[in-house]
Structure 1
Amino acid sequence: MDLLQNLQLGLENAVTLTNLLYCFVGVTLGTLVGVLPGMGPVATVAMLLPITYSLDPSTALIMLAGIYYGSQYGGSTTAVLVNIPGEASAVVTCLDGHRMAKAGRAGAALGIAALGSFAAGCFATVLIAAFAAPLTEIAFEFGPREYFSLMVLGLVGAVVLASGSLLKAIGMIFIGILFGLVGMDVNSGALRYAFGVDELMDGIDFVALSMGIYGFSEIIRNLEANAGRETVPEPVGSVLPSWKDIRESAGAICRGTVVGSFLGILPGGGALLSSFASYTLEKKLAGDKAEPRFGEGNIRGVAGPESANNGGAQTSFIPMLTLGIPSNAVMALMIGALMLHDITPGPQVMTTNPGLFWGLIVSMWIGNVFLVILNLPLIGLWVRLLRVPYPLLYPAILIFCAIGVYSINANTFDIWMTIGFGLFGYVFAKLGCECAPLLLGFILGPMLEENFRRALLLSRGDLTTFVASPISATLLAVSVLLLAIVVFPSVRSGREQAFREDD
């Protein structure tokens, strides 16, 4: 009964004219940034953070969430039509989706991707509703030492599941933690790493950091690449898949939904890991008997990953909503949005802001319905958008970013910081460093330090307190085990191979 009452509360909060409007705006923007290569959900959410400052917290979260899971829908459009993944998780969709487009079956590929994403999104939302309350009850048992160990596990998970070099991911985590420590120490009042700059007394602005390393640096990299696009196939054809396509894809959609929904909960996992895992599973299950072969236009190579990435995108909200721990860069930005509204993320959100908590969950069902309505009939519109030259879009985006950053504190120093972080993100991307671990380190670093110090104060400086608690000891043991396993040569080479599947 409690679940039904909570869902009723969420329905009352989500089904208001304002929240429905912003849910629609969010999923539409998400689809748009998924369609436009180079504009991902992280950069878009970062750019829109200043706007959320003037919105109700529930409305802001509903819109930002819609952008995230909506981008998973849109990312498949460019992957299928022009062989460019609009979103990183759509990389594997290119393999079979674009071959289907070349064979005149672009509509079927896009239709099955939309239906698979809808099914996965609905299932993932049910999981969130079912597991949110029990996980929150468990979270109330956490003290400072348990939270410290949980955050260590979150950072370790982000390192293990980050693409590229482990050493670089660890380095980016530590850089993010250092950025998070800039400013006044809340316990002693001492200034740290401010270097005499008055504007840094309150710390580095989260919006300036996130918008710089994702918004500005992404634009710089895309302008530098200036890659030509393939011609969009004409005609696209009917986006309603045949019954034969649905029968062939049903198993892949179910498997992808389950794989994505559970992998999305992992720190650093989310949509990207889910889509790769689903494609690998489908390819192994089909074996050499697949017709057509995987990589040559098999519809299951579209249905599985597209279901998995949407399921993974939505279940990544579980640790953020219940524990206050971001599982990926977008969830870190969502926590930043909560902090802009003076809401402390964590299990207390369910009790102090139940309308916000359950309204967000119910809005995901509504958002998935909106996305099916948007993606099936409006394919023609997205095709036209794919023909807009990128150099015409980017100046407008840069101006929008600068206005957004300035509007929060009315301080030009924030704009200079954003430009600086944009150059920082560009340089580190050229060095092969992923910026998502840095953002997670920036968010979790101060909380990690605070809980570490509180735990030591309560234990009078006894470090064994972190292994005296069964929960804390288990979380630390899992962290050590994850690092130990991934260091093994066979595991490391397999991990590196998994992230090269898009070549």
Structure 2
Amino acid sequence: MIFQSLSDLWQGFGVALQFNNLLWSFVGVLIGNLIGVLPGMGAMSAMSMLLPLTYVMQPVPAILMLAGIFYGSQYGGAIGAILLNLPCHPPHAVTCLDGYPLTRKGKGGTALGITMISSFFAASFGIVVMIFASPLLVKVAFKFGPAELFSIMMVGLIAGGTMSRGRPLKGVAMTVLGLVLGLVGTDVNSGVMRFTFGITDLADHVELVALALGLFGVAEFLRNVNKMEAVGSGTSVRMRDMRPSKSELKESFFPMLRGTLVGTIFGAMPGTGPTITTFLAYAAEKKLSRKPEQFGQGALGGVAAPEAASHSKTQVDFIPTMSLGIPGDPVMALILGALLIQGIQPGPQLITEHADLFWGLIASFWVGNVLLMILNVPLIGVWVKLLQVPYRYLYSAALFFICIGVYTTNNSLFQVGEVAVFGVAGALLLALKFPVSPILLGYVLGPMVEENFRRALLISNGELMVFVQSPISAVFVAISALLIALQIYFWMKARWHDRRHRRLGAVQNRA
């Protein structure tokens, strides 16, 4: 099996290095790197804006471009965090804790160099895990029937809803909203229009491009509309500053290794986003360090561990998405939606039915990470200068391209209106502290959950026990039940602690 995987990987390099595929992979990592630097414009915004372009592209270059944006943004996000104390995206907030103090000590270049080395090492490790873990799923591909697929997707939905930031109940509510949006349109079995309110433009479905651009493009812009000032500074980094010494490499090696392992473990778990992973890696490293007092003051381990965790998770995230059809986070849900747009059904059989796409994607990860290593060195000064551009110019240009992109998808002004509606709704939800990421997760998984649920019931003549008769399905049903039970337990425990504090406070006030 190892020999077969290496042979397939060699063929994947042949696909990834084709000029057209290599060009689009380069475009993806370049845009991702740029977007990673800019505050408020994360990978979701960039991928949503370029999603209409994939309609007229072949499947392989389309997915390579989107994947390049994803892991390219991880590189770019560290630059603002280290040099400017500007956590452009949540996963890099923990990098600020030690990255910016290193910059103030004159070691910003060293921190960036360690970040690049950690990122490349972790990404490479994650790619190796993908190479040897994904083919194992091919052997059990035919054991996944409708009941098993339904149970696995339910774990993804529940994990994505309950593990999102904020209160779990809000996350579940947003997941259900996404499920409902995914069911809008014509029922494929009966031909009946559902949840359209008589609007014929919704007869097909709610457009994925409109939903993603509204929730992760327009909503983010509206939320940051008052940030008009430039945030850049005169920070500069020379190329020679980015070469860490042997002692600095030695100091960072084990934190980098441990962060990589944390990211790899959590990468295959649905619902655990990169933010959770980076904070866990940082907390674990601080506990294990011989000098924990240095953390927060400029410890190289405080930069290497979270950045390695972020990048290894980014790569391993593709395993459940491509092999099981379960997106680990909203970005993966968007890539899953892009595959469905291309007529490709993610799942255990994708590796054999679309081997050129799967192995070309894995090979492109290495190619893309090498491109990022080359790009980051000369362009860091450019990215820092770019941060001095006021938001009012960046966002107005982005909104213009959003409208153009949505309209050209189907030449429909109705879809531009959809983007506006979802943008305003998303901004209101964010203002009310509702997470919008589970909406996309529910939207993408909802139709597949319904389809497999109905198919399983048809096969079993309406017998609900079909979902626990298979060992695989029963395990995932038990995991779903455990996740729900744990959330109820944590909620009851929090309420009990609140009541106890109130009683103690009341007693102290009386005394």
Distance 1:56 1:245, change over 3 A: same
Partner Cα distance (2:407, 2:343) in 1: 20
Whole-Å Cα distance in 2 between the matches of residues 226 and 157 of structure 1?
37
Find the partner of 1:101 among 100, 103, 110.
Answer: 103
Work out whether 1:246 is the aligned partner of 2:249.
yes
CA shift, 1:437, in A, is: 0.7
2:366 corresponds to: 365
Go from structure 1 to structure 2 and tell me whether the alpha carbon gap of 1:490 and 1:394 turns closer, same or farther (over 3 Å shift).
closer
1:102–1:233 CA contact under 8 A, matched in 2: no
Scaled by the length of structure 2, what TM-score is found? 0.93
Equivalent residue, structure 1, for 2:497: none
1:279 aligns with 2:285: no
> 4+ residue runs of structure 1 moved beyond 4 angstroms?
225-228, 234-237, 490-493
Q: Secondary structure at the match of 1:268?
A: coil
Change (3 A) 1:436 1:137: farther
- C-alpha separation between the residues in 2 aligned to 1:182 and 1:224? 35
Q: What is the Cα deviation at residue 154 of structure 1? A: 0.5
1:312-391 equivalences in 2 (<5 Å): 312-391=313-392
Write the distance in 2 (CA, Å) between the matches of 1:260 and 1:227. 35
Q: Using a 3 Å threshold, how does the CA distance of structure 1 residues 356 and 399 change in structure 2: closer, same or farther?
A: same
Q: Which residue of 2 aligns with 1:192?
A: 194
Question: Structure 2 CA distance, aligned partners of 1:11 and 1:492?
Answer: 52
| Cα distance per residue 1:247-284 (max 9 Å; x no partner) | 10000000111111121111122422221111011111
Residue in structure 1 matched with residue 505 of structure 2 by the alignment: none
Shift, 1:338, TM fit: 1.2
SS of 2:140's equivalent in the other structure is helix
**Cα distance between partner residues in 1 of 2:285 and 2:489:** 26
Q: Secondary structure at the match of 1:158?
A: helix
- Judge conservation of contact 2:99–2:298 (CA < 8 Å) in 1: yes
Give me the whole-angstrom Cα distance separating, in 1, the residues matched to 2:105 and 2:491.
Answer: 38
Matches of residues 306-317 of structure 1 in structure 2 within 5 Å? 306-317=307-318
Contact 1:81 1:232 in 2 (8 A): no
Please state if 1:229 is matched with 2:254.
Answer: no
Alpha-carbon deviation of 1:223? 1.2
The residue number in structure 2 matching 1:128 is 130
- The DSSP-based 3-state class of the residue aligned with 1:377 is helix
Matches within 5 A, 1:2-17: 2-17=4-19
Contact 1:72 1:87 in 2 (8 A): no
Structure 1 position 310, deviation (Å): 0.7
The answer to whether 1:433 aligns with 2:434 is yes
Residues 122 and 438 of structure 1, relative CA distance in 2, 3 Å threshold = same
Paired with 2:462 and 2:195, the residues of 1 have a C-alpha distance of 25
Contact 2:232 2:385 in 1 (8 A): no
Does the 8 A contact of 1:77 with 1:86 survive in 2?
no
CA, structure 1 residues 68+169, in 2 after alignment: closer, same or farther (shift >3 Å)?
A: same
Q: Does 1:29 find its partner at 2:31? A: yes
- Distance between the aligned counterparts of 1:463 and 1:91, measured in 2? 45
Residue number in structure 2 paired with 1:38:
40
What code does the residue aligned with 1:116 have? S
Contact 1:101 1:233 in 2 (8 A): no
- The equivalent residue for 2:86 is 84
CA distance in 2, matches of 1:399, 1:25: 20
**What's 1:55 paired with?**
57
Residue 227 (structure 1) shift:
6.3
Structure 1 CA distance for aligned equivalents of residues 255 and 248 of structure 2: 11
2:270 aligns with one of 254, 267, 271: 267
Give matches, 1:418-497, under 5 Å: 418-489=419-490
Q: Is the 8 A contact 2:230 2:387 kept in 1?
A: no
Equivalent position SS for 1:140: helix
Question: What is the alpha-carbon distance in structure 2 between the residues aligned to residue 228 and residue 221 of structure 1?
Answer: 17
**In the alignment, which residue of structure 2 is the partner of 1:397?**
398
Shift of 1:408: 1.1
Is 2:29–2:372's contact at 8 Å kept on the other side of the alignment?
yes
Partner residue in 1 for 2:77: 75
Query: Which digits, 9 at most, give the CA deviation of each residue in 1:410-444, with x for residues without a partner?
Result: 11000000010000110000111111111000011
Contact 2:25 2:65 in 1 (8 A): yes
Contact 2:33 2:73 in 1 (8 A): yes
In structure 2, what is the equivalent of residue 218 of structure 1?
A: 220
2:500 is matched with none
The one-letter code sitting in structure 1 at the alignment partner of 2:284 is L
Q: Distance in 2 between matches of 1:228 and 1:480?
A: 48
1:499 corresponding residue in structure 2: none
What displacement does 1:465 show?
A: 1.1
Q: Which AA in structure 1 matches 2:254?
A: G
Q: Is the 8 A contact 2:218 2:399 kept in 1?
A: yes
Distance 1:85 1:117 in 2: 17
Q: Which residue of structure 2 aligns with residue 414 of structure 1?
A: 415
Residue of structure 2 in register with 1:497 after alignment = none
8 Å CA contact 1:27–1:66 kept in 2: the answer is yes
TM-superposed deviation, 1:377 = 3.0
What amino acid is aligned across from residue 436 of structure 2 in structure 1? C
Shift of the alpha carbon at 1:399?
0.9
Asked whether the 8 Å contact 2:330–2:438 carries over to 1, the reply is yes
Structure 1 residues 266 and 126, CA, compared in 2 at 3 Å: closer, same or farther? Answer: same
Distance, in Å, in 1 between the alignment partners of 2:147 and 2:112 is 48
Q: Distance in 2 between matches of 1:492 and 1:406?
A: 49
TM-score by structure 1 length? 0.95
- Asked if structure 2 preserves the Cα contact closer than 8 Å seen for 1:117 and 1:306, the reply is yes
> How far, CA to CA, are the matches of 1:235 and 1:454 in structure 2?
58
**Cα-to-partner distance string for 1:213-272 (whole Å, 9 max, x where unaligned):** 001111111113446636343566711112121110000000111111121111122422
Which whole-Å deviations, capped at 9, do the CAs of 1:82-104 have from their partners, x for residues lacking one? 11112221010011101111111
Question: 2:232–2:384: 8 Å Cα contact kept in structure 1?
Answer: no
Q: Kindly provide the amino acid, as one letter, of the partner of residue 261 in structure 1.
A: T
Separation in structure 2 between the aligned mates of residue 230 and residue 45 of structure 1, nearest angstrom: 25
Corresponding position of 2:507: none
Q: What is residue 116 of structure 2 aligned with on the other side?
A: 114
Query: Residue 140 of structure 1: CA displacement?
Result: 2.8
8 Å Cα contact 1:83-1:230 kept in structure 2: no
Q: Which shifted more, 378-387 or 181-190?
A: 378-387
- Counterparts of 2:142 and 2:374 in 1: how far apart (Å)? 40
| More off after superposition, 444-453 vs 228-237 | 228-237
| Larger Rg over CA atoms | 2
Q: 1:34 to 1:232 in 2, by over 3 A?
A: farther
| One-letter amino acid of the structure 2 residue matched with residue 451 of structure 1 | N
Q: Once the two structures are aligned, what percentage of the paired residues are identical? A: 46
- Distance in 2, matches of 1:136 and 1:407, equals 38
**Residues in 1 aligned to 2:297 and 2:437: alpha-carbon distance in whole angstroms:** 33
Distance 1:365 1:330 in 2: 20
